[in-house]
Amino acid sequence: DMRKKYILESWFNNNLSNPYPPLGTKIEFSEECNLTLKQIESWFASKRSQLKRKYEVKKLNEFSSEKKNILRDFFLNIDQKPNKIQIKELAEQLATSEKKISKWFIDQRFNQKKKNN
């Protein structure tokens, strides 16, 4: 039901800094949405989990402009598809994970391919 979702989403989005509704609010939602208290609590737990994953993915993709410049330089002037050794060296140089470096290169190749189509 869209109305139920709207009620819960609105409260959640307006309280992102502390997305834990007090018991009284959860009881109101339960009555208004015709859901059990457990269903309300599960919905909020799931929503907080989604938010956390979204934040972690975003954090995984962030680089300082200095690090981006180093990666961009490597991508444009050395290799667009670095091997495992090159990825390991870049990760050490930039004090980050090999996974983040690999993902950055995959994203760059994808974006370049998109531009060329």
CA atoms within 13 A on the CB side of 105: 23
Show the domains of the chain with their CATH numbers: 2-61 (1.10.10.60), 65-116 (1.10.10.60)
pTM of the predicted protein model: 0.51
For the chain, how many residues are written?
A: 117
- Over residues 62-97, the pLDDT tens digits come to 788 889 999 999 999 999 999 999 999 999 999 999
CA 113 to CA 111: how far, in whole Å?
Answer: 5
- Over residues 18-42, the pLDDT tens digits come to 999 999 999 999 999 999 999 999 9
* pLDDT confidence band for 10 (50 / 70 / 90): very high
* pLDDT confidence band for 59 (50 / 70 / 90): low
Per-residue pLDDT, 57: 64
Ramachandran sector of residue 34 (left: φ over 0; alpha: ψ -120 to 50; beta: rest): left
Locate tokens 């869209």: which residue? 2
- Residue of 53, 67, 65, 55 lying closest to 96 (CA atoms): 67
